[in-house]
Amino acid sequence: MRLVVCFLSLLTVFGPAECGNVLVWFSDGSHWINLKIVLETLIDRGHNVTVLVPDASLFMKAKESDRFSYQPFNASVDEQEMRDFIEELVYFSVYETDQLNLLQFLMKFYNLASIIQDMCTSYCDGILKSSKLMDKLRNGKFDIVLSDPMYPCSDILAEELNVPLVYTFRLSIANVLERMCGQIPAPPSFVPGVMSKLTDKMSFTERIMNMLFYLSQDFFATIAWRKFDNYYTEYLKESPTVHPIMKPLSLLIYSRHEDMEEFVQSSGDDGIVVFTLGSLVEKMLKETINKIASALAQIPQKVLWRYNGEKPDTLGENTRTYKWIPQNDLLGHPKTRAFITHGGTNSIYEAIYHGVPMVGIPLFADQPDNLVHMKAKGAAVVIDNIKTMEPQDLVDGLNTIINDPSYKENTMRLSRIHHDRPIKPLDEAVFWIEFVMRNKGAKHLRVEAHNLTWYQYHCLDVFAFLIAILTVVLYAFFKMCKFFIIRCCFRKSKKE
Amino acid sequence: MRLVVCFLSLLTVFGPAECGNVLVWFSDGSHWINLKIVLETLIDRGHNVTVLVPDASLFMKAKESDRFSYQPFNASVDEQEMRDFIEELVYFSVYETDQLNLLQFLMKFYNLASIIQDMCTSYCDGILKSSKLMDKLRNGKFDIVLSDPMYPCSDILAEELNVPLVYTFRLSIANVLERMCGQIPAPPSFVPGVMSKLTDKMSFTERIMNMLFYLSQDFFATIAWRKFDNYYTEYLKESPTVHPIMKPLSLLIYSRHEDMEEFVQSSGDDGIVVFTLGSLVEKMLKETINKIASALAQIPQKVLWRYNGEKPDTLGENTRTYKWIPQNDLLGHPKTRAFITHGGTNSIYEAIYHGVPMVGIPLFADQPDNLVHMKAKGAAVVIDNIKTMEPQDLVDGLNTIINDPSYKENTMRLSRIHHDRPIKPLDEAVFWIEFVMRNKGAKHLRVEAHNLTWYQYHCLDVFAFLIAILTVVLYAFFKMCKFFIIRCCFRKSKKE
């Protein structure tokens, strides 16, 4: 893969922009939720935004009210297929990982990874191999391609259209993409690989685990990306390299609901607990749901639970379920005492923003990792395994973060630091996107690392040369010493 | 050494500050010129600024018109001593480096380094060992200590006063301090050591030179800092670590002079050349000066030369010398065609800011490095050795950058990028200084690297362990194979 910009986040306030044309590569789920807000701002600033959208998508629904244009494309993935896959992925992560033996686990993991790859290939084909669509895009006079590197091939599109590319990016497993960026340092000694569930304070054993995690994921990434090598050989003549732009986002705006406010106010001094498990998880085993509901029934707080399934048998008087809740508004409510969360990035940022302590029930992806870090900062209690969780664990967790004042203090400290920045993250993202449009790319920010081989990057050729020189010198020295000693002894013995 | 903040530059616009007390460690030369502008802005924003100033200083002169308070201290260094040292340093760098043999060079280098260390020790003593002064500072209710890490011991002062410390920092030889910071990556494969005169595009030989440069400077730094170990053992109980804040500055404001403007206007279409050799260099060999003057006499442009010495015999009609010139204003003048510069950081930034191509005559410190980078960007012609320079070299250099349009284009491109930032560098510096004051330090930005030993940092213990395991497994496997083969063969031969 190849691209144009690679830098750490920088911040800004800035003047009016020249109107440009922005092309957005397909993305889905929380990735799309975040990207959409950046696109809205680009439109506010006078740019035209066109979004590539496949026939089937979970979140990317073309609405008349949307202000950006959609450019549909055909992909051989239907919506049910995607829902089934996500359910399988969640079930695998939550219920299966510790039941399977290593071989079964690896096979299942490989199987799921293959499905993702097939889907991605289908999207790549849908765009790159449709000559009609490609011609239309070529005539679209785009100034920039925006994409999330989770979804491959946007770099090829940018290359084909001959326009700069900007990635919006949350993370990659074991920082594989971030490290390829070259500019982002990740010494395995103190940078825990993303999704390793480690923090920056690691014991010797943990550092070994971290190193193995990096090495194995590097290996896995090499295997996984082999599937896309065809594309790169076909479209690009150069060997593929990667360097993404980092862009953390944290703000979502929702509207208020009156009946909800009434329920929140009825909680009195005990306050409320907000409970969601993210945008992708719709269904869970009935047993798990009942355990959760019975735990919630035991606390004095009122609970607002975003839950879409059948009503649990053990649901308490104090708990109400909603198909959707204005999570960010509720977290900002003065009566909110705690937040039960799966630990998705947006949820974590919203909890930090409002300074609400968390009980974490991580499911998959970066969620366990995010919550480990919140726990290390003293802002969360984490329930490691939703499958083996007992109701009392959840009750204890909630009581701890609500009654031990250190959790509130720590979360408020994080909140203060989070707010104490020179400029809003959204403005920051938009500034750098426009920067790339204005300057027709940002080649001056590319690190020279991309033009080095792996052994050059790690200075192995230099070390080999220096060690060779040293060896020759030492060898010559040793030979000389030997020569003189023998000669000396030889003369001596001759004399004798 | 120890400190509090370590991050890459970030940018800002921000509201009113709470009034605080800022204590500034002594610095001199261009380091003080830059720091002073930050201090002015802090005062504009309502802070009280107190500057520690020794009896003798070249640039740090207490003036009645200054808005910050000075806190004098005694140091056993007088002004003449300092001037002599700087002249010796410049003479060594410009005239002696290639005349001396390696042993002479190293002895002279070591000698000069010792003088610097003795001066620094004298400043440290002047502040830290004066119990009267220290008591006064302890009662001063300071919120922060600001300093340049070129001048050691400010970290001890901050520790003694128990307040956060912020470094303002341009560079250290071979990025020694930057790499100790831990967060700033410097793989020797593509990051040229500061003052190595290399760029990010390096051949195999250059990469070997770069590696040796890093290694030798690491060694030298260890030796050089040994002198200050006493302080750290005496004042701090912990082992010393370093992590500085990066803060590039680029704006200086001067006033206009009318007679100068008249001379500039008289240049007609040919325009003018601005010529300065920095804030520290007062005197050069008469021979060199005459060569320069005779070269300048040959060009059609008018030349404004900041020069403090005797009038050169070969001075042309078109050249005027001035004790001081408003360099930044002149570089911003529409008639300016070229800039002859020693390549100091501020001069380079000012030339980029106004998009003026350069002829570089580097003298010492970071100057050769800065100019190598400008040359690589196609914005400068560099004269490598002022000692062996012939007048024609300077004439050719000036003609090239003035008549080849690519130099102007490249410099204008750098200028556009330099201006295209979300916020002014000065605001950026002030935001982060106030951030540290507001948050009583910035411990959350410290990298965990500071708590690791060198072999842990480089994962050598982890590698050793993994290789040991691998060796044992391979050894066992080999032994087993051998055992079965022998047994197999043995039976076979028995049967036979």
* CATH number of the domain bearing residue B50: 3.40.50
Buried b or exposed e, range B284-311, using 16+ CB within 10 angstroms: beeebbebbbbbbbebebbbbbbbeeee
Contact B466 A211 (CB under 8 A): yes
Q: Is residue B9 part of a domain?
A: no
Same domain, B171 and B215: yes
Dihedral angle of Cα B325, B328, B334, B338, to the nearest 10 degrees: 80
Same domain, A225 and A342: no
- Per-residue confidence at B195, pLDDT binned at 50, 70, 90? confident
Angstrom CA distances, B100 to B89, B104, B106, B116, B196, stand at 14, 6, 9, 21, 19
- The encoded tokens of residue B248 equal 């590039």
Q: Residue A5: helix, strand or coil by DSSP? A: coil
Could B431 and A422 be called an inter-chain contact, meaning their C-beta atoms sit closer than 8 Å? yes
Of B419, B437, B470, which marks where a domain is finished?
B419
Residues A189, A298, single domain; the answer is no
How many angstroms separate the CA of residue A182 from the nearest CA in chain B?
A: 9
**How close A413 gets to chain B, by Cα (Å)?**
10
Q: Is B207 part of a structural domain of the chain?
A: yes
Residue B16, pLDDT > 70, answer: no
Query: Does residue B227 share a domain with residue B269?
Result: no
Structure-block tokens of residue A188: 């395995």
For testing the chain A interface, which of B7, B11, B181, B434 should be mutated: the one with the most A CBs within 10 Å? B11
The residue with greater pLDDT, A444 or B304, is B304
* Residue B348 and residue B214 share a domain: no
Which H helix or E strand runs over B381?
A: strand B380-382
Contacting residues of B for A422, CB less than 8 Å apart: 10-14, 423, 427-428, 431
pLDDT of residue B11: 29
Return mean pLDDT, chain A.
82
**Gap between the Cα atoms of A207 and B462, Å rounded:** 7
Same domain for B68 and B118, yes or no, is yes
At A240, which amino acid appears?
Answer: P
Asked if A189's CB is within 8 angstroms of B182's CB, the reply is no
On whether residue B444 sits in a domain, the answer given is no
CA neighbor of B361 nearest in space, from B350, B349, B371, B374: B371
Instruction: State how far the Cα of A391 lies from the Cα of A290, in Å rounded to an integer.
Output: 9
Under 8 Å CB pairs connecting chains A and B tally to 131
pLDDT of residue A272 exceeding 50, the answer is yes
- A446 part of a folded domain: no
CA-nearest of B199, B321, B194, B188 to B260 is: B321
Q: What is the pLDDT confidence band of residue A244, given thresholds at 50, 70 and 90?
A: very low
pLDDT digits (tens, 9 = 90+) for A137-165: 999 999 889 888 888 888 889 889 988 88
- pLDDT for B332 equals 93
Q: How many Å lie between the alpha carbon of A457 and the closest alpha carbon of chain B?
A: 5
Same domain for B337 and B236?
no
pLDDT above 50: residue B52: yes
Subunit contact B189:A452, Cβ cutoff 8 A: yes
| Residue where a domain terminates, one of B251, B280, B315 | B251
Is A456 in Cβ contact with B189 (below 8 Å)?
yes
**Average per-residue pLDDT for chain B:** 82
The model's confidence at residue A185, banded by pLDDT at 50, 70 and 90, is: low
Q: How far is B70 from chain A (nearest CA, A)?
A: 31
Q: Are B230 and B170 in contact (CB under 8 A)?
A: no
Poorest-pLDDT segment among A167-181, B95-109, B440-454:
A167-181
Q: Are B145 and B158 in contact (CB under 8 A)?
A: yes
Structural domain includes residue A284: yes
Are B141 and B34 in a shared domain? yes
Q: Are residues B224 and B182 in the same domain?
A: yes
pLDDT higher than threshold 90 for residue B81: no
Across the interface, of A13, A420, A465, the residue whose CB is closest to B422 is A13
CA angle A321, A324, A329 (to 5 degrees): 100
What secondary structure letter does DSSP report for B82? H
- Among B201, B427, B452, the residue with its CB nearest the CB of A448 is B201
- Among B82-96, B225-239, B311-325, name the most confident range: B311-325
Q: Between chains, do B420 and A438 touch, taking CB under 8 Å as contact?
A: yes
d(CA A457, CA B190): 7
The DSSP H or E segment spanning A414 is helix A405-419
Identify from B13, B190, B431, B467 which residue to disrupt to test chain A contact, counting A C-beta atoms within 10 A and taking the largest count.
B190
Q: Distance from A420 to chain B by nearest Cα, in Å?
A: 8
What number is the average pLDDT over the span B356-382?
Answer: 91
Residue A447 lies in a domain: no
Closest CB from A10, A188, A208 relative to B422: A10
Q: pLDDT higher for A198 or A135?
A: A135
Please name which of A119, A34, A134, A110 lies closest in space to residue A85, comparing C-alpha atoms.
A119
Q: Is the pLDDT of residue A239 over 70?
A: no
Question: Which pair of structure tokens corresponds to residue B100?
Answer: 């001396």
Q: What are phi and psi of A446, to 5 degrees?
A: -70, 135
Look up the domain containing B49 and give its range. Answer: 18-251
Specify whether B312 is located in the same domain as B350.
yes
Distances (CA, A) of A38 to A112, A139, A145, A486: 31, 24, 13, 79
| Co-location of A229 and A363 in the same domain | no
Residue B411 to residue B381: CA distance in whole angstroms:
12
Per-residue pLDDT reduced to its tens digit, B262-315: 899 999 999 999 999 866 565 677 888 899 999 999 999 999 999 888 888 999
- The domain tally of chain A equals 3
In a domain, B431, yes or no: no
B428 and B9 in contact (C-beta within 8 Å)? yes
Residues B23 and B145 sit within 8 Å (Cβ to Cβ): yes
**B27's tokens:** 């610095």
Contacts of A435 in chain B (CB under 8 A): 420
Would residue B371 count as lying in a domain? yes
Which domain-ending residue is among A232, A251, A270? A251
**Residue A57: how many CA atoms within 13 Å on its side-chain side?**
25
Shared-domain flag, residues A31 and A97:
yes
CATH of the domain at A327: 3.40.50.2000
Side chain identity, residue B289: I
Task: Name which of A410, A448, A450 to mutate to probe chain B: the one with the most chain B Cβ atoms within 10 A of its Cβ.
Answer: A448
